[in-house]
Amino acid sequence: MTEKIKIPIINTSGNALPEYATPGSSGLDIRAYVDSPLIIKPLERVLVPTGLFVALPEQYEIQIRPRSGLALKHGITCLNTPGTIDSDYRGEIKVLLINLSNENQTIQNNDRIAQLVIAKVEKAEFFSVTEINETNRGVGGFGHTGK
């Protein structure tokens, strides 16, 4: 079994802490923390609070990703996906949602709205050169291999 990273968290919501839905899950489900039902109109975007504050260790990030069930069943997904929470951020975790359906959608307090994926971050340093090596692919991009 892989050793788990210990992450300090403040939970002001009263909802469950982020949790894995199954033993094989990559993401931890997080929940909305709203005083009253939040109506999201078609094509409207909203920033949904969670009441969660974390202290990530250096060299880690949290990626905020959509929940597939919300996207399929209700047309709700995350914008700026994956969103990044840096190790030095100490504010409340909020989730930027958009309603891509043709109907109003409602978010209730305690609804699972997104998932968090904990990822190791490698730091890089760029240095200037006048040439880079060639590859078989070269400059091909944006669909160059076909449909």
pLDDT block averages, 10 residues each, the chain of length 147: 88 97 95 98 98 97 96 96 96 98 98 97 96 87 75
* Residue that is written with structure tokens 């291999």 in the block: 145
Residue 46 lies in a domain: yes
What range defines the domain where residue 67 resides? 9-120
Q: Which pLDDT score, from 0 to 100, does residue 36 have? A: 97
Count other Cβ atoms within 10 Å, centred on residue 105.
20
Residue 39 lies in a domain: yes
Burial, 74: exposed, middle or buried (Cβ in 10 Å; 0-12, 13-18, 19+)?
A: middle
- What are the backbone angles phi and psi of residue 72, rounded to the nearest 5°? -70, -50
Residue 144 lies in a domain: no
Count other Cβ atoms within 10 Å, centred on residue 53.
15
Tokens representing 2 are: 């892989």
Residue 16 lies in a domain: yes
Q: The domain that contains 26 carries what CATH number?
A: 2.70.40.10
Q: Which pLDDT score, from 0 to 100, does residue 1 have? A: 61
Residue 132 lies in a domain: no
Residue 133 lies in a domain: no
Residue 142 lies in a domain: no
Report how many domains make up the chain.
1
Residue 89 lies in a domain: yes
Q: Which pLDDT score, from 0 to 100, does residue 85 have? A: 97
